[in-house]
Amino acid sequence: MMAPMSSNGREFTPAALFRNPHFMTIVPGFWPRGGLLAGVPAESRLFTTEPHTQLLGFCHWQPTRTACQTVIIVHGLEGSSESHYMHGIAAKAYRSGFNVIRMNQRTCGGTEHLTPTLYNTGLSQDYRAIVKELAHVDRLTRIWLVGYSMGGNLILKAAGEVGSSEASLEGAIAVSPNIDPPKCVEALEQPRNWIYHRHFLVELKARLRRKAALIPGKWDLKNLDSTVTMSQFDHRYTAPDGGYASGADYYNRAGACRVLDSIAVPTLIITAQDDPFIPYSMFTVPLIQRNSRIQVIAPRHGGHCGFLQWARNGEDHFWAENRIMDFLQERR
């Protein structure tokens, strides 16, 4: 189901300056949002998802946690549990009565020591394992997966792989997800997107060096300095580390686009038609349109995980967060 606006009719109408997709993508990260979780109880927790692999989450429990729905939030590439959007949606969800868990992906948020592997966009098994633990150990019965960018692909892939087999999975929400990695990487490497491409590549190289210092000899870094594109980095390092035959094999197998037709829970995808490196065409395919469980909201503007609006009609500046909360609240 395709929709140009949210189900309650609240269209995204940015000011003229914010209709530039690069401006919309970059500015929200610098918007002052300090203290959003001040006074909210927090508990750190390690989730063991595979032998020798743990993911760090920060749990914000309601006083009667088993009586409440739970929202697991997953960040994007080179983000962490402390990313501004993670705090933003966590604060809204907690104050609306949900349990909230802000997850770090493998090696992220200073957790390089918790797993011998790198992280990649195909590791949906981590989030299936976390849902299973919360359902069968904590006895939580209504669990939502929410993800941004790469995190959006991970949670959609997990939802598609689970299908209807996990009764506790209530639904999934993805903002600007990279559901078809070959197309996203091709777009990211276009000259117009050099600022994002360079940022991701510099950060990923730095992370690999930190990992290599912890596990000497595991990765051959002799070609790291000559690696100048994301596709080279993924072919030389991400793919072999993740058990893929090549970069192309990794991209072709890691996308949620392969399993979207198997999603069996209410699912919302928010994406912008002008996202610099998440092509809108990915969300107009029959695979999505045929699945009545999936709703796509695709405003003309919004950039990548941006969606910054003027505060109006009782809402703050963060339009996508408010649409997430609408979707959650309508299904309580």
Q: What integer is the mean pLDDT of 8-30?
A: 85
Handedness of CA 159, 321, 105, 243 (dihedral sign): positive
E strands along 33-82, which residues? 43-50, 53-60, 70-74
- The CATH number of the domain where 162 resides is what? 3.40.50.1820
Q: 268-285, pLDDT tens digit by residue?
A: 999 999 999 999 999 999
| Mean pLDDT of the chain, nearest integer | 95
Position 41, amino acid: P
Closest by CA to 299, choosing from 268, 271, 321, 327, is 271
As given in the structure block, the two tokens for residue 171 are 């639904």
End-to-end CA distance of the chain: 21
- Which structural domain range is residue 266 located in? 2-330
> Which residues share a beta bridge with 268?
173, 295
Q: 99-146, pLDDT tens digit by residue?
A: 999 999 999 999 999 999 999 999 999 999 999 999 999 999 999 999
Position 95, amino acid: R
Q: 186-214, pLDDT tens digit by residue?
A: 999 999 999 999 999 999 999 999 999 99
Residue 255, CB-side half-sphere exposure with 13 Å CA sphere: 20
Closest by CA to 299, choosing from 5, 2, 1, is 5
Q: Please give the tally of structural domains in the chain.
A: 1
**Cα 276 to Cα 133: distance, rounded to the nearest angstrom:** 36
Residue-level pLDDT at 16: 79
**Cα 247 to Cα 230: distance, rounded to the nearest angstrom:** 10
Instruction: Residue 79: count other Cβ atoms within 10 Å of its Cβ.
Output: 23
Angstrom distances, CA of residue 270 to CA of 169, 238, 263, 304: 20, 27, 16, 10
Q: 201-252, pLDDT tens digit by residue?
A: 999 999 999 999 999 999 999 999 999 999 999 999 999 999 999 999 999 9
**Cα 201 to Cα 306: distance, rounded to the nearest angstrom:** 21
CB 127 within 8 A of CB 145: yes
> Which residues share a beta bridge with 318?
308
> Which residues share a beta bridge with 59?
43, 101
DSSP 8-state code for residue 99: E
Residue-level pLDDT at 2: 43
CB 153 within 8 A of CB 147: yes
> Which residues share a beta bridge with 47?
55
